[in-house]
Amino acid sequence: MKLLRHILPLSLLFLAGHASANEVRIESFAVPEGARPHDVAPAPDGTAWYTAQRQGALGRLDPKTGETIQVPLGEGSKPHGVILGPDGLA
């Protein structure tokens, strides 16, 4: 159940993007242990940004490779949301 809590938010993000009128496809992506992703924002290039709330970081997932990177936001930060700006960046 602990792993499900980490991958479920990113699974739901890609459900809408890959589903056709007759098909439902769910893909799950693991994020670093302890990230506790909170919000997810799909980017125009197909990647997804998420907040790693427990680790005080902003994360980026590439669903083509499954690779994630996390950028530390500083001591004491607990990011709650992420949105994309008009330039497509988080």
**In this structure, is residue 82 part of a structural domain?**
no
- For the chain, the domain total comes to 1
CATH code for position 34: 2.40.10
Question: Is residue 81 situated within a structural domain?
Answer: no
In this structure, is the dihedral angle defined by the CA atoms of residues 20, 10, 32 and 43, taken in order, positive or negative?
positive
Is the torsion defined by CA of 13, 45, 70, 30 positive or negative? positive
pLDDT at 1 over 60: no
Q: What is the pLDDT of residues 17-51, one digit of tens each?
A: 555 567 888 888 888 998 888 889 999 999 999 99
Tens digit of each residue's pLDDT (9 = 90 or more) over 45-87: 999 999 998 899 999 999 999 999 999 999 999 888 888 888 8
Which domain range does residue 29 map to? 2-72
Nearest to 40 by CA among 81, 87, 75, 71: 81
Residues in Cβ contact with 19 at an 8 Å cutoff, skipping those fewer than 6 apart? 25
